[in-house]
Amino acid sequence: MSKLRVNAYSISIDGYGAGPDQGLANPMGVGAEGLHEWIVATKTFQNLSSDFAGSLTAGKPSQEGLDDDFAKRSFANVGAWIMGRNMFAHSRGPWTDDGWKGWWGSNPPYHVPVFVLTHHARASITMEGGTTFHFVTDGIHAALEGAKQAAQGKDIRLGGGAATIRQYLSAGLIDELHLAISPILLGQGEHLLSGIDTVRLGYKCTEHASTGLATHVVLTK
């Protein structure tokens, strides 16, 4: 049976999953690059077929070890993805004919169907390597149902942004939540867990481990 998983989602010590002022120049928000130092250094991330990954890892040696183990696990048994529009594009409002097909170049690192939550309809986009972006306008449950059908029994990985994860988490739909807590403070941006009663929703910490770049915490129901 398919599980809905959040994997390798980086937050700051003070709980922010993205910095302020996200946009084309700062896709993760101002100051948020440090959230992802742990995964950018891993062999798994650096082996991704992605122009975006290459731009982040240029000149950095790849590392194995615990961080890489978590990165590798994040891609295991994934048959479909769900993400918010904020993760797919920098733009807001109705789609424009600007040719935008995501941050990742012609061969995104997903290689499975990806369901993008949006308020504005758009035709599906087929990319190299098996990735097809489908745009869902009728909510989180419809996206999850479509992803389950596409995954064919494999798991579904839920990407960002924080607002998308919060919606699924508040609805109790996430089966596994892996957070990588990076040793930085952001002070502002998109907070992940504020106001969400994870205990009432039935989540508990089932795994935790630390490296020099992140503290990994896994919550399950």
Residues 6+ apart with CB under 8 A from 59: none
Please check the confidence at residue 100 and state whether its pLDDT lies above 90. Answer: no
Residue range 47-56: average pLDDT?
A: 58
Distance CA 38, CA 46 (A): 12
Distance of CA 65 to the CA centre of its chain: 21
Which position has the higher pLDDT, 26 or 201?
Answer: 201
Distance of CA 86 to the CA centre of its chain: 11
- Model confidence band, residue 59 (pLDDT cutoffs 50, 70, 90): low
- Model confidence band, residue 191 (pLDDT cutoffs 50, 70, 90): very high
Report whether the peptide linkage leading into residue 29 is cis, meaning its omega lies within 30 degrees of zero. no
Residue range 137-158: average pLDDT?
A: 98
Please check the confidence at residue 54 and state whether its pLDDT lies above 60. Answer: no
Distance CA 114, CA 8 (A): 17
Which position has the higher pLDDT, 190 or 55?
Answer: 190
Give the DSSP H/E element, type plus range, for residue 170. Answer: helix 162-170
Distance CA 120, CA 45 (A): 31
Contact 144, 4 (CB under 8 A): yes
**pLDDT value of residue 26:** 77
CA distances from 212 to 21, 65, 67, 72, 129 (A): 28, 11, 9, 18, 34
Please check the confidence at residue 60 and state whether its pLDDT lies above 60. Answer: no
Percent of the residues in the chain that have a pLDDT greater than 90, as a whole number:
73
Domain ranges of the chain: 4-220
Please check the confidence at residue 58 and state whether its pLDDT lies above 70. Answer: no
CATH number of 4-220: 3.40.430.10
**pLDDT value of residue 92:** 86
- Model confidence band, residue 52 (pLDDT cutoffs 50, 70, 90): low
